[in-house]
Amino acid sequence: MRIVYLVEIVIGNKPQAKDPEGETIMKDLMHKSGYDCVKEVRTGKLLTVQIEANSEEEAREKVFAMCNDLRIFNPVAHSCKIEIRGKT
């Protein structure tokens, strides 16, 4: 039976690429407000995808292939994490 899976794609900057938005959030918001305990903030982009597949494994593979095929992330600068969050 075809199932619709809920998949999250998280795109972030690679560690070598500076993340000025994350730095600003940490230094100018968190640290200035007393949250010195925060040591790093990295920002990213979240895509929530509903995809039809026969299994969790197939849903993950399809999303992975699509992200690479369509350059949903730029492999030079970005990392990409794919997580299955459930079924609809």
Write each residue from 53 to 72 as x if it is in contact with another protein (CB under 8 A), else as -, in one continuous string.
-----------------xxx
Which of 1, 16, 33, 46 lies at the binding interface for another protein (CB under 8 A)? 16
- Report the distance separating Cα 25 and Cα 80, nearest Å: 22
Contact range with another protein by CB under 8 A, out of 17-25, 32-40, 56-64, 79-87: 17-25
The candidate with the shortest Cα–Cα distance to 48, out of 79, 78, 12, 11, is 11
- Contact positions toward another protein, by CB under 8 A? 13, 16-18, 20-21, 24, 45, 70-72, 74, 76-78
